[in-house]
């Protein structure tokens, strides 16, 4: 990360212009009209202030290239010629990784071989290239998708691979070749035009080949077999070339074949992928979901083909995606139709003719049923079955209303049937889960906390009860008789306290190790330590688990930061002495009296000392900021980026003639105020709860309970008065 320049990294994909201290450009993650994507070289982060995406250089590469954290690190290491030292693997792990890498390498070689054969050999140009030209594909599309041709000679690929030093073992493992009688190795795709299948990160994982000879009794299309690097249920043709366009368009067009994708790209419609003639799978749907939740399926007029694909559409509904269907004109498929249209007219046709899947399915099946009541009943069951797969209750309800209208059947009947289906499915899933866990543990399953839920344990009777300021309080029925402490310590709503907690976490991330208060001469209390200690006085803990984790990590890094600071001081002291010696030697060579030289030497030493302390202060100030914005857990690092990003900065005009006081200069005032505001919010919430209980106790004429609650109310109001003096008459809430 120290070697990475985020401006250089982003500039590889986005045209940036400097504006003040930051750089700005059009956001690559949505259809940006005016520059809203900011890159901060000083903080090492980027952020779009329109769609919200951004992060460190690692996050940018992960999002833009759809790589894992590990892959993004390797990408940056390669860019800056940094050797990555990985943990030592077992022999088995090393062999498995070596095999996978070798298979990717052999596939890349094969793709280059097929492409060269297509474009440079006489056979390739006269057979393969002629076919692509006849289909209307230009050379740009051919190169963009790496199309190729496998020579008709049965061992052309094998011979070239052996000549280059590749092992036949990996030709066989990838399915590029097969072993025949007598141990002879021959090419699987001989005499076919080739369509490489790329993974989402751009690696060649498989091939599709089309035979050009007519009258041959073999499959017209032939695909690579499953392998360690290729699982057809998890791959989509064209996803690598389409992923950026899908994100920008917020929609993915789903077609059937390779040529459909190629023709649409050539027509300027790039947000398209193909299932390659196979039934749609959950893995393929989840792959699309990484880029958009909107899918539009393009059908030609083949009714049999449409009905055969309906099950795949049900899977899309089950994954919670929004699906539309477009029926192309008679005799047209996406390949032919896109060739006769511009990108604009094609998109306009889709917008005008797309319909939601449930309505499409209803109309399609009703045409077959006619007036036959038995068939109509079966269709109703079929359609309700599809609706029952939708996870969102509101969407299900809307579709039930629509089907009730289309099918002319009472809505309550549809709802009743739908609920039965969902209940039966839930029961079956429960049985499967029970069977899967049978014998593994006698303990009941423990539900994992939701990422946004509090994970703090409630104290038992034997534990110390939380103080009146605690945010982690047990929930109980308002009318239940409770002690004074129990009533005060009800759980506070996270949403109510979120903005106050977030403000304190922002101070920790941005300034955590910066000196805040001098506790004694030469000894300082850091921002993070002060916040934690002040909250612990009243047993206050953060509700948000991510906030808790950030605090824990900040405290854990204290020792590591101290070690790095000691190393920095040592290096700076060495540089300081060296610079001072050079300046003194230079001053002593100058003409003038000794007094003037001594004065210059003293001024130089003072200036260098200030610069050194400034570097040390900057290190302490930004240590946690750098640590959290590059943290491997993307939930934490993206939150940190959001906390440190600033949309606006003062121009140089404001600081040309005067030094303006910054937030950093006022931390001694702002942080205590933020702590008091959180405590005040907790008190106000508790007071509201007490007042509600007083009202209920009054209605129940419970005089004893009223007296207890009134005492608690007085106690809380006294605390609030004390806090008000600390905060001031006017409490300013964090934005």
Q: Which residue has the higher pLDDT, 93 or 294?
A: 294
pLDDT of res. 618: 79
pLDDT of residue 650: 52
For residue range 189-216, list pLDDT tens digits in order: 999 999 999 988 788 999 999 998 776 6
Q: CA-CA distance, 176 to 212, in Å (whole number)? A: 18
* Helices 494-511 and 634-644: angle between axes, nearest 10 degrees: 80
pLDDT at 88 over 70: no
Tokens representing 597? Answer: 């030289």
Per-residue confidence (pLDDT) for residue 427, from 0 to 100? 78
Q: Model confidence over 242-286: pLDDT tens digits?
A: 988 888 888 999 998 899 999 999 999 999 999 876 678 888 888
> Which of 455 and 507 is assigned the larger pLDDT?
507
Residue 447 binned pLDDT confidence (cut-offs 50, 70, 90) = very low
User: Which of 626, 623, 630, 637 is CA-nearest to residue 564?
Assistant: 623
- Phi, psi angle pair for 322, to nearest 5°: -90, 125
3.90.980.10, 3.30.1600.10, 3.40.50.720, 3.30.2270.10: which CATH number matches 99-230? 3.90.980.10
d(CA 472, CA 543): 7
User: Which residue did the predictor score with more confidence, 632 or 440?
Assistant: 632
Q: What is the pTM of this model?
A: 0.56
CB atoms within 10 A of CB 22: 21
d(CA 363, CA 400): 15
Q: Say what the pLDDT of residue 605 is.
A: 85
Q: Mean pLDDT across the chain, nearest whole number?
A: 80
Confidence check: pLDDT of 470 > 50? no
Q: State the CB neighbour count (10 A cutoff) for residue 267.
A: 21
Domain ranges of the chain: 6-79, 99-230, 239-425, 468-556+633-645+660-735
d(CA 560, CA 570): 16
DSSP string, 534-584: HHHHTT---SSHHHHHHHHHHHHHHHHHHHHHHHHHHHHHHHHHHHHHHHH
Using alpha carbons, select from 215, 220, 152 the residue that is nearest to residue 187. Answer: 152
CA dihedral sign, ordered 152, 158, 159, 164: positive
Could you give the angle at which helices 667-699 and 703-727 cross, rounded to 10 degrees?
Answer: 160
Which option is the CATH number for 239-425: 3.40.50.960, 3.40.50.300, 3.40.1710.10, 3.40.1360.10? 3.40.1360.10
Tell me what pLDDT residue 274 has: 92
Average pLDDT over residues 288-314: 75
Number of H helices, E strands in the chain: 29, 18
Residue 693 in tokens: 């209980």
DSSP state letters, 320-367: T-EEEEEEPPTT--HHHHHHTS-HHHHHHHHHHH-EEHHHHHHHHHHH
Percent of the chain with pLDDT over 70: 84
Closest-CA residue to 486 (of 506, 505, 461): 461
Rounded distance between C-alpha atoms, residue 654 and residue 333, angstroms: 62
Length in residues, the chain? 735
Bridge-partner residues for 254, per DSSP? Answer: 273, 297
Residues 546/592, Cβ–Cβ less than 8 Å: no
Q: Above 60 in pLDDT, residue 464? A: no
Residue 207's pLDDT is 95
Tell me how crowded residue 584 is: count the other CB atoms within 10 A of its CB.
16
Is the pLDDT confidence value at 382 over 50?
Answer: yes
Is residue 106 a contact partner of residue 174, using CB atoms and an 8 Å limit?
Answer: yes
pLDDT at residue 657 in the model: 54
pLDDT recorded at residue 436: 55
Give per-residue burial for 240-261: e unless 16+ CB within 10 Å, then b: bbbbbbbbbbebbbbbbbbbbb
Q: Tens digits of per-residue pLDDT, 654-679?
A: 455 555 667 877 888 888 888 888 88
Cα distances from 689 to residues 125, 494, 500, 682, 708, in angstroms, run 81, 15, 19, 11, 14
Q: Which residues pair with 197 in a beta bridge?
A: 206
Question: So what's the pLDDT on residue 568?
Answer: 79
Pairwise CA distance, residues 176 & 295, whole Å: 33
Spatial contact of 157 and 168, defined as CB atoms under 8 Å apart: no
pLDDT(492) > 90: no
Give the H or E element holding residue 179.
strand 177-179
Torsion from C-alpha of 329, 330, 336, 337, nearest 10 degrees: -10
Residue 427, token pair as written in the block: 């029961």
Domain 6-79 CATH assignment equals 3.90.550.10:
no
How much is the pLDDT for 301? 61
pLDDT tens readout for residues 149-183: 999 998 999 999 999 999 999 999 999 999 888 88
Q: How confident is the model at residue 89 (pLDDT cuts 50, 70, 90)?
A: low
The half-sphere exposure of 74 on its side-chain side, counting CA atoms within 13 A, is 9
Q: What is the pLDDT of residues 346-379, one digit of tens each?
A: 888 888 888 887 778 777 777 766 667 777 788 7
d(CA 720, CA 48): 40
């Amino acid at each position: 990360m120290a070697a990475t320049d985020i401006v250089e990294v982003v500039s590889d994909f986005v045209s940036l212009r400097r504006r003040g201290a930051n750089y700005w450009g059009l956001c690559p993650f949505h259809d940006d009209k005016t520059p809203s994507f900011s890159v901060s070289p000083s903080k090492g982060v980027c952020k779009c202030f329109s769609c919200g995406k951004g992060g460190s250089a690692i996050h940018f590469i992960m999002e833009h290239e759809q790589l894992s954290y590990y892959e993004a690190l390797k990408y940056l290491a390669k860019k800056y010629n940094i050797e990555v030292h990985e943990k030592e693997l077992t022999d088995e792990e090393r062999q498995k990784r070596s095999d996978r890498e070798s298979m990717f390498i052999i596939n890349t070689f094969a793709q280059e071989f097929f492409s060269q054969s297509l474009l440079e050999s006489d056979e390739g140009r006269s057979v393969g290239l002629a076919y692509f030209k006849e289909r209307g594909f230009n050379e740009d599309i051919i190169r963009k998708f790496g199309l190729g041709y496998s020579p008709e000679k049965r061992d052309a690929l094998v011979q070239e691979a052996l000549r280059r030093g590749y092992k036949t073992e990996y030709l066989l493992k990838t399915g590029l070749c097969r072993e025949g009688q007598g141990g002879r190795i021959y090419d699987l795709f001989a005499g076919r035009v080739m369509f490489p299948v790329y993974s989402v990160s751009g690696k060649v994982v498989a091939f599709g080949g089309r035979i050009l000879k007519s009258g041959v009794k073999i499959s017209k299309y032939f695909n690579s077999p499953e392998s360690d690097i290729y699982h057809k249920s998890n791959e989509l043709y064209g996803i690598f070339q389409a992923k950026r366009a899908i994100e920008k368009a917020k929609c993915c067009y789903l077609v059937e074949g390779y040529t459909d994708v190629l023709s649409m790209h050539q027509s300027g419609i790039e947000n398209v992928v193909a299932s390659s003639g196979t039934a749609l799978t959950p893995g393929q749907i989840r792959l699309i979901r990484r880029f958009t939740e909107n899918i539009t399926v393009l059908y030609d007029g083949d009714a049999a083909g449409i009905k055969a694909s309906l099950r795949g559409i049900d899977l899309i509904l089950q994954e919670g995606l929004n699906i539309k269907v477009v029926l192309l004109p008679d005799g047209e498929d996406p390949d032919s139709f896109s060739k006769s249209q511009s990108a604009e007219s094609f998109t306009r046709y889709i917008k005008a003719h797309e319909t939601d899947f449930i309505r499409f399915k209803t109309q399609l099946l009703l045409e077959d049923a006619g007036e036959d009541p038995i068939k109509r009943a079966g269709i109703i069951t079929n359609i309700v079955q599809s609706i029952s797969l939708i996870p969102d209750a509101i969407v299900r309800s809307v579709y039930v209303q629509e089907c009730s209208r289309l099918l002319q059947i009472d809505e309550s009947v549809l709802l009743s049937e739908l609920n039965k289906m969902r209940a039966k499915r839930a029961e079956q899933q429960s049985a499967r889960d029970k069977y899967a866990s049978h014998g593994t543990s006698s303990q009941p399953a423990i539900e994992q906390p939701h990422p946004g839920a509090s994970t703090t344990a409630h104290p038992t009777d034997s534990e110390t009860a939380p103080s009146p300021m605690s945010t982690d309080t047990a929930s109980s029925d308002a009318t239940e008789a409770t002690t004074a402490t129990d009533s005060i310590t009800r759980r506070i709503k996270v949403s109510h306290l979120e903005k106050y907690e977030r403000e304190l976490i922002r101070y920790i991330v941005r300034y955590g190790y910066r000196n805040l208060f001098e506790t004694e001469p030469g000894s300082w209390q850091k921002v993070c330590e002060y916040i934690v200690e002040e909250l612990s006085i009243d047993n206050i803990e953060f509700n948000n688990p991510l906030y808790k984790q950030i605090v824990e990590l900040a405290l854990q890094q204290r020792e590591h930061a101290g070690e790095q600071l000691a190393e920095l001081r040592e290096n700076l002291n060495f540089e300081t002495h060296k610079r001072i010696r050079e300046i003194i030697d230079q001053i002593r060579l100058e003409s003038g009296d000794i007094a003037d030289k001594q004065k210059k030497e003293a001024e130089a030493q003072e200036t260098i000392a200030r610069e050194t302390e400034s570097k040390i202060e900057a290190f302490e100030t930004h240590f946690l900021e750098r640590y959290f914005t590059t943290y491997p857990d993307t939930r934490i690092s993206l939150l940190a980026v959001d906390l440190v990003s600033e949309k606006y900065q003062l121009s140089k005009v404001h600081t040309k003639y005067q030094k303006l006081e910054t937030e950093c200069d006022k931390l001694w005032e702002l942080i205590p105020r933020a702590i008091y505001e959180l405590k005040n919010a907790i008190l106000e919430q508790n007071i509201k709860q007490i007042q509600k209980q007083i009202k209920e106790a009054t209605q129940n004429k419970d005089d004893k309970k009223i007296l207890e609650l009134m005492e608690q109310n007085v106690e809380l109001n006294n605390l609030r008065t004390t806090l008000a003096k600390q905060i001031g008459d006017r409490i300013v809430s964090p934005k």
